[in-house]
Chains A and B, each alone.
Chain A
Amino acid sequence: MSLNDIPVHSASITTGNLRPVLHEIRHAFSELIAHGTHGMIDLHSLPFSPQEYAELDEFLGEGEIDLTLNVLGKTRLRESGYAGIWRVEHFDDNDNRIGYFIEIGHVPEILRSQCDDIKEGLAAMTTILAMEEDNNEDAIT
């Protein structure tokens, strides 16, 4: 049962945090264009009312990309209606949202292949190719 199932209805609330967050997003957006800086805003630890989450969602709109990663539970990446502004939602195994970030950049950080993984991949591929070539030479001789 989720909180929404409990038949107590809160009078509508606004915490007043939405406006500043929208301006923070706009600022990060212009930083991305001016300096290529990747921006990240943590929404999880801000007091936001359900209405404000909804208003934020409406403001950002939907873009073309909606991806789900399977990394320690699910992670959902959605591009907003503004190219370069992403919603990044982290879930645990029980599909509870445990983190919510707005990222401002070409792709969300978690989507990039990690440098160390790339290096390890190159090393592994080199070894495999060398082994195959060794085997081929053995077969010829």
Chain B
Amino acid sequence: MRMQSPNPYEPTLGEHLRSQGISRRGFLKFCGLLASSMALAPAMIPKIAAALEQAKRPSVIWLSFQECTGCTESLTRSHSPSLEGLVFDAISLDYHHTLQAASGDAAEHAREEAMKEHYGKYVLVVDGSIPLDNPGYSTIAGISNLDMLKEAAAGAAAIIAVGTCAAYGGLPKADPNPTGAVSVSDIIKDKPIINVPGCPPIPMVITGVIAHFLTFGLPELDSLGRPKAFYGQSIHDRCYRRPFYERGLFAETFDDEGAKAGWCLYKLGCKGPVTYNACATTKWNDGTSFPIESGHGCIGCSEPNFWDFGGFYKAISIPTGASGKNAVYAAAAGIAAGVAIGAMNKKSKAEAASSHQTVTVEELNQESGS
């Protein structure tokens, strides 16, 4: 985002990074890694560098509602010197009640000040869902989450809903949803909202979205409001165990020979085929690995209602292919027929072949019949 500011001395992001001792070579490395993390072609690196160099530091107001602070932890515990840290330092974080030193009235004043000063231009980041049943379930400084969200959203240029709770309701919304939790987009209808789901989201993805917003404005979103650059492919598409899936080689228990040999975890409940997220390539813990690499299936944390998918260890029954590659993967699923999809009834098979995108909880509840 390029912010018009009356202050002629407001440094650009490039200047800010250099004042932090980051050389232009460092900046180039930073932009290269950023492009890589955004799955952009390396040819875009000079464009990213030019745009970031000129971008002004945006004011960011971060509101935390019904959440576990895992999303903030994910971001602040990333490795050092991390790209995440660099991007995070490059913004002007004017309110975040977990991270700021100020508390009580002073903190709330900081929020009000920032909102007034940057009205119409600040970026609003939200983690956590919003309870609609009783406003008293979650308040900040006596203000209900609903009121605070509406007030802060009014002056925001855009909203980033960080984590599955803010994006889709998440854990608080899990059946029976005792607080009447809803997502940001259930309430705010008149602002651009970028959903960055995950439980928690990958830190690189959180900052990548911020960086994208700084350089090229709003990213292209999928039908669930997620940036395609990070959520454009399923875990299954990028999974290194995929060759085993294609050959119909599945671990049946967590300690059988197949598990030891690193075979596909589909029958152990892996939700990779219906989950769109970047962790198969970006990975976790400083790029160490991701759950499937540690021998556990994907639980689908970046999808709406993943807590109610019917059990983390129940195999899904729909061979959902990649968007845009349906034909190829329909054929691939055909190879695996009799193993993975053998028990599928004709109706759901036809549905899967035609939609290949969304799967209902009921469908997920069906056993694979393994």
Show the binding face of A for B, using Cβ within 8 Å.
Answer: 2-3, 8-11, 13-16, 40-42, 44-47, 49, 69, 71-73, 75, 90, 92-94, 96-99, 101, 109-110, 114, 116-117
Contact = CB atoms under 8 A, between A and B. Distances in A.
Nearest to A14: B243
A73 B81 contact: yes
Contact of A41 (B42, B243, B281): B42
B329 to A, nearest CB: 14
Interface in B278-326: 280-282, 286-289, 293, 295
5 contacts: A8-B295, A41-B42, A47-B281, A72-B29, A99-B32
Given A40-B42, A47-B281, A72 B30 contact: yes
Most chain B CB neighbours (cut-off 10 Å) among A11, A46, A93, A94: A11
Interface stretch (B99-107, B149-157, B159-167, B259-267): B259-267
Contacts of A101: 32, 36, 42
For chain B, which range describes its interface: under 10, 10 to 19, 20 to 34, or 35 or more residues?
35 or more
A13 B244 contact: yes
B52 to A, nearest CB: 14
A16 B28 CA distance: 31
B55 to A, nearest CB: 16
Given A41-B42, A98-B33, 5 more contacts: A13-B240, A42-B36, A72-B22, A92-B81, A92-B82
Main secondary structure of the interface of A (DSSP, over half): loop
Contacts of B25: 69, 71, 110, 114
Contact of B262 (A8, A42, A46, A99): A8
Given A99-B32, A110-B28, A15 B242 contact: yes
